[in-house]
Amino acid sequence: MRRTGIIMCLLCATAGAVAGAQEPKEPKALKDARGQIQSAKVVDKGGMYYEGNTGPFDLLQPVFLKHGSAEYFKAMLKDKHVMVRIMGMRCLAKAEGRKCAPLLRQRLTGRTFITTIDGCIVDHTTEGGYARRLLRRLAKSPADEVALDLEILARDACGWAHEHAREALAKDLAVKRLPLDLARLRARFPKIPPMDLVKAIGRIPPKPEIKAFCLSCLRDAKLPRPVRLAAASALTRYGDDDVLKAIRSAEKALNGDAKSRPAAGIIKHFEERRAYQRLRETLTDDKKKPADPQEFRALLLRFLRCDHPVIVSDMMETRQLYMYGLDAEPVMAHALALVGACKRFAEVDPPWNTDADAPYVMDTFMQLSKAAMKGEPDKVPKDMAMLVKAFDAYWKTKHAEKD
């Protein structure tokens, strides 16, 4: 009994101490600065926008650095306001340098759009896009920058940044910074899995040397099946007969024991993509397209109903075919096909699939359009408003749980 009483006294004393303890107060300077950041509209730097003066976002950063700590900046990354999270990333990069890279990498999939102003340059990016900028600044060498863009291009949920990563890697390829040999790539970037290396390189804009690299990986029987599947998936971007022949030759090895028979799906996607490209050529070539308006319309509707994910990257070019003088039917056909393309790949989503970024790339287009609709809704074309509405409904019901 006596021992129990002592324990109870100790517990009560401990509870009292905990109850009496208070969270450390946030310094007033930080609290005020945080409040101002929450309402900021742009991430700014001195320039024409502020008549050559430093903008408010830049003015507040020294306040955070003076009164805050690394732990405080890490807590800012979890704030519900995107501008607070952006300031947290900036301050953490200043305070910890490359040590904070793993935390910044966690922000690469951030989808919230922001506007940045640097001098006279205005840019629209995402929270993840800003994390990429900071990570590139922290990189020790050009090889680290290449590794970062390979990682981004291999991750489907970083679809917002794939265009920037593709452009950067295409330049790296031109200056021999990116060897197109899997053994050398694995030696240079040991932290990136082989499948991700092939998937990332396969997403770079089509080039003969990339096609040759993917064919080499596809034909290498010593490579794991997912690596060869990534190569086969990337090769669907090339509508050549030798590619189709190579995929069919490797079909048994690609399928393995999988009941889903992935090789058959890859061949189907190859044939769909080639048919889509041929339809596009017919519609855009004055010598090939039908002279009769009704025939042209029927062919256009058939084209717009293609739901291969290539239509996501071609969306803006495709709009040029119907946005002038046509009724709502082509618009809705295109909208439904875009949603269909996203659904096809988001719901299956094997890790080797180079088209599985379609929903995220599409989301980037839609986020930009919604930003324009808020700013100047009268200037947003009706077809884009319809596309935004259709995609929003899809994202909320089918894909939000994967974000």
- The confidence score (pLDDT) of residue 315 equals 72
Q: How confident is the model at residue 88 (pLDDT cuts 50, 70, 90)?
A: very high
Of 76-80, 207-211, 328-332, which range is least confident?
A: 328-332
Last residue of a domain, one of 121, 138, 155: 138
pLDDT given for residue 9 in this prediction:
47
| Cβ-based neighbour number of residue 210 at 10 Å | 22
Mean pLDDT, the chain, rounded, equals: 82
> Has residue 263 got a pLDDT over 60?
yes
- What percent of the chain clears pLDDT 90, i.e. is strictly above it? 43
Could you tell me the residue range of the domain that residue 97 belongs to? 28-138
pLDDT of residue 381: 61
Domain boundary among 138, 164, 191: 138
**192 within some domain:** no
Is residue 399, in this structure, part of any structural domain at all?
yes
Give the model's confidence band at 403: pLDDT under 50 very low, under 70 low, under 90 confident, else very high.
very low
Residue 15: predicted pLDDT: 44
Domain assignment present for 319: yes
Question: Is 316 part of any domain?
Answer: yes
Strand partners, 44: 117
Provide the pairing of β-strand 121-126 with 113-118: antiparallel
- The predicted model gives 32-52 an average pLDDT of 73
Residue 130 has pLDDT above 70, yes or no: yes
List pLDDT tens digits, range 298-323: 888 888 888 888 877 777 677 677 66
User: Does a structural domain hold residue 175?
Assistant: no
Q: How many domains does the chain have?
A: 2
Comparison of pLDDT for 45 and 142, the residue scoring more: 142
Lowest-pLDDT range, 97-106, 227-236, 254-263? 254-263
* pLDDT for the residue 51: 53
Q: What percent of the chain stands above pLDDT 70? A: 78
Quick check: is 179 in a domain? no
- Residue 305, in any domain of the structure: yes
Give the pLDDT score at 379. 53
With respect to residue 202, please indicate whether it lies within any of the assigned structural domains: no
Range with the lowest mean pLDDT among 108-117, 141-150, 350-359, 369-378?
369-378
SS (H, E, C) 70-112: HHHHHHHCCCCCHHHHHHHHHHHHHHHHHHHHHHHHHCCCCCC
> Among 112-126, 336-350, 377-391, which range has the highest average pLDDT?
112-126
Confidence band of 326 (pLDDT split at 50, 70, 90): low
Whether 69 shows a pLDDT value over 80: the answer reads: yes
pLDDT attached to residue 368: 67
From 111, 138, 165, the end of a domain falls on 138
Tell me the pLDDT tens digit for each residue of 336-383: 787 777 777 554 568 999 988 887 877 777 776 666 556 555 555 666
pLDDT of residue 208: 95
